[in-house]
Amino acid sequence: MKKIKRGKGTTKLATGSAFEIDQKIQNSFKEKTWDETVTKDSWMVFKVMAEFVDGYEKMAKIGPCVSIFGSARLRPGDHYYEMATEIAEKITDIGFGIITGGGPGIMEAGNRGARNGGGKSIGLNIDLPFEQHFNPYIDKGLSIDFDYFFVRKVMFVKYSQGFVVMPGGFGTLDELMEALTLIQTNKIGRFPIVLVGSKFWGGLFDWFKGTLLENKLISEEDLELYRVVDTAEDAVSHIKAFYDKYTVNVNF
């Protein structure tokens, strides 16, 4: 029996140690929290559906586009920022709009290039605690907010006819691997994936060849799913050559 001193006397508590009592209280809250979480998950489906419907309705009206991915941390004057701007402008010259993540850095550069080229400039923004805010080069009415990364990635893949991947961090790698996986598994049709910066990407693709391929975790033909370039001209030429040969289609 646990007792606590109060003045000269003692007061009895409930049977069991303070630790056991604390555990019982925590367990009761855990049970309640779990039930509430399950209920919340069920209602969350409607929020996810709303994001899909809003995205589909807006994106379906835009027409063929190319997505540009890359770091939010690169600023004007950086070599890759300036190259992304040039690539985006040249892409609009061959008839495509530009989709980015809507934020700063390479995303801003992509939208800026689209604006310079007079093409459509779309931003798919994600709500983040840092880094992310709409850049000023997105066309009015073509900025879309998302709470869920997976919904946003569906919009990128469904409505992009090509990916240009500039240097970036985990988010950029996530978007790249999503596209490669979907094409490799035939979940979507093949479209051009261009990685800019052989020095930046070289280590990753050496690992693809020297580790993944060597251990038979990918196939030789998987290495043909992407093209690595070092100039804006080569990036755009690869996309143009692809669609000189194939028809532009929505991916799924």
Going by C-beta distance under 8 Å and a sequence separation of 6 or more, which residues neighbour residue 82? 76, 109
Per-residue confidence (pLDDT) for residue 11, from 0 to 100? 45
Question: What are the structure tokens assigned to 144, written together?
Answer: 């879309």
Per-residue confidence (pLDDT) for residue 133, from 0 to 100? 75
Per-residue confidence (pLDDT) for residue 12, from 0 to 100? 44
pTM for the structure as a whole: 0.82
Residue 225 in contact with residue 205, Cβ under 8 Å?
no
Beta-sheet pairing, 65-69 with 97-100 = parallel
User: Count of residues for the chain?
Assistant: 252
Per-residue confidence (pLDDT) for residue 26, from 0 to 100? 67
Starting at the earlier edge strand, list the strands of the sheet with 193-196.
143-146, 121-126, 97-100, 65-69, 163-165, 193-196, 227-229
pLDDT lower than 70: segments of the chain: 1-17, 24-38, 129-132, 250-252
Count of alpha carbons within 13 angstroms of residue 148, beta-carbon side: 14
Per-residue confidence (pLDDT) for residue 248, from 0 to 100? 78
Per-residue confidence (pLDDT) for residue 117, from 0 to 100? 97
Helix (H, G, I), strand (E, B) or coil at 195: strand
Helix (H, G, I), strand (E, B) or coil at 116: helix
Amino acid at 194: V
Share of the chain above pLDDT 70, in %: 84
